[in-house]
Chain A
């Protein structure tokens, strides 16, 4: 049997998706028997130029995690698209932009200002910012160009499959690998996750909902049985795709929406906002929603209808 060729790459991400791959534990050995990993920057020293040298479509499956925020990531996304037969957007950043995508509330200038000048731990009296290239006596050094806007992988290149989650749940990763090995992948464009909402997997009991006061999680005496909404806490569950087996609600934390929009939903934040507004009994409830973008669009801003704050220079 010809061994498959897998590649893993990380764009703008925290590294958690890489850990998720390792979280399949001993099953990684099966992956290795199934496929050769030809490129995996986090674990293997394979240079970009070696990837460039590969024949087009020579990689069977590339799992791409992370969003696209620099020209390096964009280059790699395009390169891997060319080299891979199947490109999987792996994890919330690649699928929906995730927390990285919240950078779209600002632009490069404001982010640099914050990161390299304003933060209390930074001492930068000469106001030095990262440059894309600098000539030293050893030669020319370059850094990737930082974009104003974070894009998802799907906004950058054509993506074959999506597997969201922050990080993707291990059983779903295994299921995906199994499908690849048996050549049983669904039609292109599919999301390799259940067509349900988190609520469908959540054991909490749902009742009639009328909200007269919103609570933040630290204010809640959780009864551990009833729906968070019924206890006055915002839960992204109904608008979020299942697959995580409601891990968070099961351990008394409301869903924050990392699996991306549920099957019928396009804009996850808007769906929850209109639900909240519909069941709120007074205007105050809306004002009690602290950090609306961070609550409703935590994982999906870059891939929502909003996408970003408009830059007017």
Chain B
């Protein structure tokens, strides 16, 4: 005798599903779990009434849905789409139409070549009128494609758009059963039967509207944040731009020249920085961080911490007296990546915006030893204020743009290249500071070890990128950065020998390949092969590069005066704070994840939050600027509309059934459901604006007090019953 479980799967499914991230759970799969609570089996089959209720003399009466079902008898129209040949070549659509027409509430069923086309939509509208349809089923492609299209057709005929049910005969039927037309047809019938079952229970739903605060928050003051802020401000909205460091400008401000046009980076960036500081619509929060964000699209609240500079920003004129008088001038300058030094009172670079000095508390003699105060005494404007405290400011915004940028890959994680061990091994970004006229050497390209001009320079590509041990992705900018720097080296020292060691040279942008040709003609040597290791010669700090020349098929060694590592781009270490605060998703590489890689590249899964720049993934300046403008444009849409409409397919708590166990609160990643503090019994309450309708709470609720509008237990039970019934 063999004993097996049959229905176990259904009941245990929630376990497996619940371990997935809500965003990974398709709504339907999730609600399949709710079969466990279907009234179906326990009702008729077990000869026991499901709606077991009490008269008022016993206890309070249970109200199950909180809504009336509407008096009308369902009149269902079924529209079966051929999708050209996509469905009709596999599924016998005529047979499905015949099958559908036999259901009691189906008053009309028809097939159509493309239901999504204009004539197809007209067909729906015409038959809604003709047959007085009050429920519409479209059996076509995924609802992700045309749900909105068909909802609008219903709306145009005065029907509530949520009286539409889509069943997917393409992705979930014809495409996956391409070689089994008979079975596909049978499955199509089952799918249509299940849609009919659900449609009989569909109820009209009303979307909710929320007003929008006409302001935006831009996090990050690099070129992405600058561009997004300027665009939003120019459209006419108030912008709060928050930058962590004392000045905006980001990585772009550190670059000497940009590829392939060789524009001076500062020359093209600083006018934009000045525009930001002067724009009447932009409030610049420099040396500030976003501490927390709450709320939802249209109504975000953010707490910004403005760190103490110990210099009064309204009094400081940027004259620099404090810096010049400051006795401690040997602090490694972060902006120059430690290649140069600065005073304790400093601005990161001469064109800093805002032009306000900052006192570095950690290195200040007054803060560490209680002496000095020279800056305080010498400041002509009495702007120094050692008693300044961090200031918290709460702002309200309608939308948020994330432009937090990137961190440079720490080349120490590849110790074989000797970064920080050998003085003459530098990164691309350090090279930028060396060759910049505003840099620590005044633009002299010299070896850090002895200040001599290098005669032989190597550029080593893909440090930390395209490497399974560190980051598998391509950082996209390093090939062009090295090629451009090779050109700059040749420009400074035409006799120098310059080598670029690469795996593949990716010069994909406009004018990039042409630039590469030019650089090759200038005599830069390109060697295809990954560098294995770099050794130092102790006597002269020269470097030996061990590499495989894959075109020659040889392992070779070559000596250089200087080696430049093309360190890749990585997500910001502190990006997770923002990710947690806003419940954003990250892609596997830990950059922020866009809502759709092709069609929604600057939106996130959280309504009202947009991405641009390297926070979303490595990219070069033209791409960053284009994406920043796109994000600004997207972020302005709700602000211009003035109100946002939210999907009504969200969770609803039956207070009579809720037992205040707080399990729903624990599972909601959107903080959209929590104990109602105004309720004496602390029963759960849904924040309708935050709820995205993922269904986690409904599946988790042990008292089954939570209903998902559009996916009620009754609807899903009926649907499942139909799915489990053999079609005739």
Binding site for B on A (CB under 8 A): 106-107, 109-110, 152, 154-156, 158-159, 162, 175, 179, 184-187, 189-200, 206-210, 227, 229, 237-239, 262-267, 269-280, 283, 286, 303-307, 309-313
Contacts and interface: CB of A to CB of B under 8 A. Distances in A.
Interface residues of B, number: 62
A195 B59 contact: yes
Interface string B176-199: 000000000000000000000000
A270 B663 contact: no
Contacts of B59: 193-196
A305 B15 contact: no
B283 interface: no
Contact of B62 (A107, A155, A193, A195): A195
B666 interface: yes
A191 B54 contact: yes
Contact of A305 (B10, B57, B654): B10
Interface string B687-705: 0000000001001111111
A197 to B, nearest CB: 4
Nearest to B699: A274
Per DSSP, chain B at the interface is loop
B667 A279 contact: yes
Contacts of B4: 309-310, 312
B660 to A, nearest CB: 6
A191 B48 contact: no
B11 A270 contact: yes
B661 A227 contact: yes
9 contacts: A154-B46, A155-B46, A185-B55, A186-B53, A229-B661, A239-B702, A274-B18, A275-B663, A278-B700
Interface string B1-34: 1111111101110111111000000000000010
A43 B608 CA distance: 72
A121 B551 CA distance: 83
A1 B459 CA distance: 108
B41 interface: yes
A306 B47 CA distance: 15
Contact of A186 (B49, B54, B661): B54
Contacts of A273: 11-12, 14-15, 36
Contacts of A266: 36-39, 41-42, 50, 704
Given A154-B47, A270-B14, A305-B41, 15 more contacts: A110-B3, A152-B46, A186-B58, A190-B55, A195-B59, A196-B659, A200-B659, A265-B703, A266-B38, A266-B42, A274-B33, A275-B702, A277-B19, A278-B699, A305-B35
A163 to B, nearest CB: 11
Contact of A306 (B11, B19, B33, B666): B11
Contacts of A207: 662
A309 B5 contact: yes
Interface in B616-665: 654, 656-657, 659-663, 665
A265 B704 contact: yes
A159 B36 contact: no
Given A267-B11, A309-B4, A190 B54 contact: yes
B282 to A, nearest CB: 39
B51 interface: yes
A184 to B, nearest CB: 6
A98 to B, nearest CB: 15
A225 B385 CA distance: 51
